[in-house]
Amino acid sequence: MLYAQAMTRVLITGSAGFIGYHLAQLLLDAGFAVVGYDGLTEYYDVRLKQRRHQMLLQNSGFSAHVGMLEDHERLRALILDERPDVIVHLAAQAGVRYSLEHPRAYIDANVTGTFNVMECAHELDVRHLLMASTSSVYGANTQLPFREVDRCDHPLTLYAATKKAAEEMAHSYAHLWNLPTTMFRFFTVYGPWGRPDMAFFKFTRSVIEGSPIDVYNNGEMYRDFTYVADLVRAIRLLIDVAPQRPDGPESIARHDSLSPVAPFRVVNIGNGGKVPLMDFIAAIEEACGRKAVKNFMPMQKGDVPATWADTTLLQELTGYRPQTGIREGMRQFVAWYRDYYQV
């Protein structure tokens, strides 16, 4: 059963981010009160982040607060003052390749920052804590599609390692303090208001400008591309299915990643398909109305050849499965890109 929306107050960390903005907008449209918290860091164009917050502030149900995850006292004061029923923790230092050059940023934001969020959620005893992880935690796994119950013991980047660490910390807090916690693993999210550092954004810019795009592993890569509107719809539905501490192993479904000892669960959010990178590039070309100039390159350090989500659990929990295809998704993104940048 859906929570009474007008009575539910949700804190979103990373509310000026790509996914945080879309989730906040969806929840506001549904009648939730939303409190946003974002560091507005300069990892990419801050003006894009500021514009997202400005749009959300047009709704009286939204309030915006600027602060870093590492600033525990500021975060704690905000949470104890606003007293949210639910916390959705999306803020993080993102980007696989950036972690090769700036590793400390990932420890600060993704480990220390996540710990601070968990401490606040525990102190307030929130109804449900939901936190973003990533398909990158599957690391060196080669068995596809990825299932939540798969072992994730061999991360290939520090980014993936910090996200896996966050999952492990969250499980311990769920167990120790009976804190209902859902971790969701994202799979290559794309769409309007996206991050300029992501491939779909850079490819689109280059195709429109007529400059070359770097195609890694000579194009022999596959991704589970997830349209952002589908992803935030899944998060909104997962808010209503907080895990409970199980009665015993027999109460856990075969496909479920529910902990046997804690109100804790991991859920994949993906489109449930393995799409060739070259097909994705073709969708961008079609949406832009011109061909890409391709610069084929070897695999980058820390990258993986394929990702693919088993979304059985998501559908079992929510009755929902993302379905937007790459041609329609990229058509929507390119339309937004042309409008935003007036090109």
Helix, strand or coil for residue 276? strand
Secondary structure, 3-state, 76-124: HHHHHHHCCCEEEECCCCCCCCHHHCCHHHHHHHHHHHHHHHHHHHHHH
**Considering just the CA atoms, what is the radius of gyration of the chain in Å?**
19
Question: Could you confirm whether 37 is annotated as catalytic?
Answer: no
Contact 96, 304 (CB under 8 A): no
Q: How far apart are CA 163 and CA 104, in angstroms?
A: 14
Indicate which residue of 98, 159, 173, 337 is catalytic. Answer: 159
Q: What are phi and psi of 88, to 5 degrees?
A: -115, 110
- The answer to whether the CB of 262 falls within 8 A of the CB of 171 is yes
Instruction: Report the alpha-carbon distance of residue 310 to residue 207 in Å, rounded.
Output: 32
Coil, helix or strand at residue 261: coil
Reference 308, options 109, 100, 141; nearest CA is 141
First vs last C-alpha separation in the chain = 45
Strand partners, 63: 35
Report the sign of the C-alpha dihedral through residues 201, 205, 207, 212, in that order. Answer: negative
The number of residues in the chain equals: 343
Parallel, antiparallel, or unpaired: how do β-strands 222-223 and 275-276 relate? Answer: antiparallel
- How far is residue 154 CA from its own chain's centroid? 21
Q: Would you call 254 helix, strand, or coil by DSSP?
A: coil
61 residue type, one letter: G
Please enumerate in sequence order all residues whose Cβ is within 8 A of that of 237, keeping only pairs 6 or more positions apart, or say none: 317, 318, 319, 320
Cα(199)–Cα(330) distance, integer angstroms: 12
Which are the catalytic amino acids? 159
